[in-house]
């Protein structure tokens, strides 16, 4: 057991060191800003690798004295340090609204236009359809927008403040049907819940390679994640995937970012394990005792319920996607590719389907607490 834990941390630890520094440098100047996310880490330096010195809550007002690479130097009555700028909105300036409230003809014709509900707190509204465009403002989870146009994953919207701009379409739910589920928010099951599935590895990082059948972990992670996606969607959840292709390799910080930007209710990372010993079975990792452990426990309970491989329980894991994540998160190793029996079982779609069901049941149990 000790050995399994050590090896897994060693393996995943190799990929958990990349830091994230947004490359947006901006002019400095002192102003007041408001926090638009449930909890925001305050750090010693403008970097996600630096020490956490405190936290800010939704709605909290801070003074901003400097900006660097998208980070803001803030001071509240309780804490001072650096925090990620995109979760805060300037409130004593007119930067956000002044230049962009001009209505155009398309707005006038929009009485029958499609509506959509915002799924993420602090969703950025940009001047154009792409991440390189200027941020004009922010939307809150549950707000309703009018869809004006769309283009390659981006949607042009009009916000409740009559702001016109572009948002990423993965963070809005089109139509009125989902509005109820989203606005009532915290249901006791998966309906309306936003779940991020993170298929581990990808691109030039294949993960583990099976010793008997040469199964490639990144592919297995993805196929299992697709079963989980289907399972969660069928239960009414809104699912976001950190990657959907074997060639894709999102940075670890970007995987976390997807979950935080979406204001997700849970984040689940899917992996398969390896060990020099002939170890077999499933292992579920958590980072925070208070935030993550209950989710890991709930999922493990279901995985232990006879899906084909035994469970080795839950374990603390100092892994980037858990450690840096404000979202409740778990990382699941669904069997050992270094064990011939495990490998032959986990390759089967039958096992992956059962695992997906068990994880979905675990999430449901977690939200029903
Ligand atoms: Zn892995």
CATH of the domain at 138: 2.30.30.40
Torsion-angle region of 236 (φ positive above 0: left; ψ -120 to 50: alpha; else: beta): left
144 and 81, same domain (yes or no): no
Q: What pLDDT, on a 0 to 100 scale, did the predictor assign at position 283?
A: 96
Q: What pLDDT, on a 0 to 100 scale, did the predictor assign at position 48?
A: 76
222 and 340, same domain (yes or no): yes
**C-alpha of residue 217 to centroid of ligand 1, in Å:** 7
**C-alpha of residue 69 to centroid of ligand 1, in Å:** 31
**C-alpha of residue 213 to centroid of ligand 1, in Å:** 17
**C-alpha of residue 101 to centroid of ligand 1, in Å:** 47
Q: What is the pLDDT of residues 137-158, one digit of tens each?
A: 888 888 888 888 888 788 888 8
Domain count, the chain: 3
221 and 344, same domain (yes or no): yes
295 and 150, same domain (yes or no): no
Q: What pLDDT, on a 0 to 100 scale, did the predictor assign at position 210?
A: 96
Q: What is the pLDDT of residues 34-45, one digit of tens each?
A: 887 778 888 888
Q: What pLDDT, on a 0 to 100 scale, did the predictor assign at position 89?
A: 76
**C-alpha of residue 318 to centroid of ligand 1, in Å:** 14
216 and 317, same domain (yes or no): yes
**C-alpha of residue 314 to centroid of ligand 1, in Å:** 16
User: Which of 134, 142, 363, 111 has its CA nearest to residue 262?
Assistant: 142
Q: What pLDDT, on a 0 to 100 scale, did the predictor assign at position 338?
A: 96
* Structural domain includes residue 281: yes
265 and 307, same domain (yes or no): yes
Q: What pLDDT, on a 0 to 100 scale, did the predictor assign at position 92?
A: 54
- Domain ranges, residue 78: 17-96
- Stated as kind and residue range, the H or E segment containing 39 is strand 39-43
Return the CATH number at 307.
3.40.630.40
Domain boundary among 119, 153, 174: 174
**C-alpha of residue 8 to centroid of ligand 1, in Å:** 8
Instruction: Report phi then psi at 303, rounded to 5.
Output: -65, -30
147 and 196, same domain (yes or no): no
Low-confidence ranges of the chain (pLDDT < 70): 1-29, 69-70, 92-113, 175-187
Ion ligand 1: residues, Cβ under 5 Å = 200, 207, 271
**C-alpha of residue 301 to centroid of ligand 1, in Å:** 21
**C-alpha of residue 283 to centroid of ligand 1, in Å:** 12
**C-alpha of residue 243 to centroid of ligand 1, in Å:** 14
Distance CA 145, CA 151 (A): 16
Q: What pLDDT, on a 0 to 100 scale, did the predictor assign at position 69?
A: 63
282 and 233, same domain (yes or no): yes
294 and 337, same domain (yes or no): yes
Paired tokens of 222? 């993805």
206 and 145, same domain (yes or no): no
165 and 193, same domain (yes or no): no
* Structural domain includes residue 5: no
């Amino acid at each position: 057991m000790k050995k399994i834990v050590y090896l897994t941390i060693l393996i995943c630890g190799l990929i958990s060191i990349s830091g994230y520094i947004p490359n947006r440098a901006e002019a400095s100047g002192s102003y007041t800003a408001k926090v638009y996310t449930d909890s925001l880490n305050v750090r010693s330096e403008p970097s996600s690798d630096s020490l956490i010195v405190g936290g800010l809550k939704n709605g909290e007002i801070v003074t901003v004295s400097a900006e660097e690479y998208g980070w803001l130097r803030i001071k509240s009555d309780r804490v001072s340090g650096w925090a990620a700028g995109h979760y805060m909105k300037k409130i004593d300036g007119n930067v956000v609204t002044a230049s962009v409230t001009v209505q155009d003809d398309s707005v006038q014709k929009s009485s029958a236009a499609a509506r959509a509900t915002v799924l993420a707190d602090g969703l950025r509204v940009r001047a154009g359809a792409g991440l390189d465009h200027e941020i004009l403002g922010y939307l809150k989870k549950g707000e309703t927008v009018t869809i004006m146009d769309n283009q390659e994953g981006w949607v042009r919207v009009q916000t409740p403040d009559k702001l016109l701009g572009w948002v990423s379409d993965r963070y809005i739910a089109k139509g009125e049907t989902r509005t109820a589920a989203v606005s009532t928010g915290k249901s006791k099951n998966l309906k309306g819940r936003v779940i991020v599935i993170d298929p581990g590895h990808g691109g030039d990082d294949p993960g583990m390679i099976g010793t008997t059948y040469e199964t490639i972990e990144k592919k297995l992670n993805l196929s299992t994640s697709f079963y989980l996606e289907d399972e969660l969607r069928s239960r009414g959840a809104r699912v976001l995937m950190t990657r959907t292709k074997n060639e894709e390799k999102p940075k670890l910080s970007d995987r976390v970012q997807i979950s935080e930007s979406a204001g997700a209710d849970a984040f689940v990372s899917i992996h398969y394990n390896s060990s020099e010993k002939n170890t077999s079975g499933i292992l579920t990792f958590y980072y925070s005792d208070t935030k993550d452990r209950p989710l890991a426990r709930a999922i493990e309970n279901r995985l232990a319920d006879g899906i084909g491989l035994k469970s080795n329980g839950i374990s603390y894991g100092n892994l980037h996607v858990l450690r840096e994540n404000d979202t409740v998160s778990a990382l699941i190793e669904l069997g050992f590719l270094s064990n011939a029996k495990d490998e032959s079982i986990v390759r089967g779609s039958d096992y992956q389907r059962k695992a997906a069901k068990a994880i979905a049941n675990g999430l449901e149990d977690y939200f029903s607490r």
